[in-house]
Amino acid sequence: MVKALDLLKQEAGLPGRGKLLPNRDDSNFKIQNRILEVATKQFVQFGYRKTSISDIADHAGIGKGSLYLHYESKKELFLSCQLEEQRDIYEQFDKISDMPERDRLRTYLECVLTFATSAPLSKALLTRPKDYAALINEMGASNIKNLSAAGTDLIVKNIISSANKELSLEDQKSLAVTISILTSAIGHLPEIIFEMSEVQVNDFVNTLVSLLDHGTRTIKHT
């Protein structure tokens, strides 16, 4: 079975992507951790386009040249911050793989919703369309496509296929893409939407899971 954390590590090893923090006993851990903490705060407050390497270096208390010894560009630094932010949820995804099949989809959606409303960097990026577009442009369409395909494959193998063995691989992938689009859209929603509609997040998850489950059963019988 595909391990989500392994996928994250593979992503970190791709050209043009960020990199994960080294082990704590590594001589570079302390300085890189400091850089990422400062950079995350700067990106959240000012956005990707308006944050400069000089600003981050100044707030981290190091020289600009020293920062470049660890991260070769602002893009790599931002993506490294994002990878670290995603590490916890990827570890949760691996735990989902060990759950009873009937609980996997619900738990996955709960994890994604929690991440979407509590991960400051990802949330800031989603609410700044121009920053999002600038980053996608720098990463390149092919890289985005490859990452999306890897994410779909992860959902199919770890969440959908075991619980929906009657579905064809094509239908499993369609369901995985639907889930990805829905959860991405949810990430764009401000929390006030739930507050104004008086809908609890848990109730929303239950409804969404029921709809997806009903849709899955409908696919099986067509």
pLDDT in tens, 175-206: 778 777 776 676 666 555 555 555 666 677 67
> So what's the pLDDT on residue 217?
56
Q: Which residue has the higher pLDDT, 126 or 77?
A: 77
Q: Which residue has the higher pLDDT, 186 or 105?
A: 105
Enumerate the H helices of 51-200 as residue ranges.
53-60, 64-70, 74-96, 101-118, 120-126, 129-139, 141-155, 169-188, 191-197
C-alpha span between 108 and 101 (Å, rounded) = 11
C-alpha span between 47 and 55 (Å, rounded) = 12
Structure confidence at residue 101 as a pLDDT band (50, 70, 90)? confident
The pTM score is 0.74
| pLDDT tens, residue by residue, 131-163 | 877 877 777 666 666 666 766 777 777 677 666
* 52-59 average pLDDT score: 96
> So what's the pLDDT on residue 61?
95
SS3 61: coil
Cα 47–chain centre separation: 17
> So what's the pLDDT on residue 213?
64
Cα 39–chain centre separation: 18
> So what's the pLDDT on residue 176?
78
Write the DSSP symbol of residue 21: -
Query: How much of the chain, in percent, has pLDDT values that exceed 90?
Result: 23
> So what's the pLDDT on residue 15?
66
> So what's the pLDDT on residue 138?
74
**Lowest-confidence pick of 59-73, 106-120, 160-174, 181-195:** 181-195
Which residues 6+ apart lie within 8 Å of 159 measured at CB?
96, 104, 105, 108, 176
Crossing angle for the helix pair 74-96 and 129-139, to the nearest 10 degrees = 90
What is the CATH topology of the domain spanning 4-220? Answer: Tetracycline Repressor; domain 2 (1.10.357)
* 44-72 average pLDDT score: 94
Structure confidence at residue 14 as a pLDDT band (50, 70, 90)? low
> So what's the pLDDT on residue 119?
81
SS3 140: coil
> So what's the pLDDT on residue 173?
80
